[in-house]
Structure formats: structure tokens, C-alpha cells
């Protein structure tokens, strides 16, 4: 499997050049990172909203 990735990378570099290939690879990696950050932020916002709705104001305080 890694040999296939190397072959695809070599073909990409041969087609568009090294710097454009590097830019494309870094761009795709950063898009995945951005997707993960947005997903984590969405989960945290949902958890915060659920916490405020169900757990604030319902606790017994002396």
C-alpha cells in the first residue's frame, strides 16, 4: 500500500511540479484538520447547550 502512495505522489509531482504538489498536499491536510476543529467545536457547543438546558438551575443548593 505505501508503494501505491509513493507512485501516486510521483505522478502528481510529474504532472504539476513539486511546489504545486506540495501545496495541494498541505492544503488537503489542512482541510482535514479544519474539519476536525469544526467538528470538535460543534460537539463542545452542543455539550454546553445541553448542560445549560438540563443541569443549570435544577440543582439543590442550600
Percent of the chain with pLDDT over 90: 44
How many whole angstroms separate alpha carbon 49 and alpha carbon 30? 28
Measured distance between the N- and C-terminal CA atoms of the chain, rounded to whole angstroms = 63
Domain count, the chain: 1
Average pLDDT on 16-34 reads 92
Average pLDDT on 39-61 reads 83
22 located within any domain: yes
8 located within any domain: yes
Distances from the Cα of 48 to the Cα of 33, 36, 41, 53, 56, angstroms: 22, 18, 10, 9, 11
Average pLDDT on 44-51 reads 92
Q: What is the pTM of this model?
A: 0.67
3-state secondary structure of 38: helix
Domain encompassing residue 24: 2-54
39 located within any domain: yes
The pLDDT value recorded for residue 58 is: 57
The pLDDT value recorded for residue 57 is: 61
Amino acid at each position: 500500500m505505501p508503494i501505491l502512495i509513493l507512485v501516486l505522489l510521483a505522478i502528481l509531482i510529474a504532472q504539476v511540479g513539486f511546489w504545486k504538489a506540495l501545496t495541494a498536499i498541505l492544503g488537503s491536510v489542512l482541510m482535514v484538520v479544519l474539519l476536525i476543529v469544526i467538528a470538535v467545536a460543534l460537539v463542545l457547543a452542543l455539550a454546553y447547550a445541553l448542560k445549560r438546558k438540563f443541569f443549570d438551575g435544577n440543582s439543590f443548593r442550600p
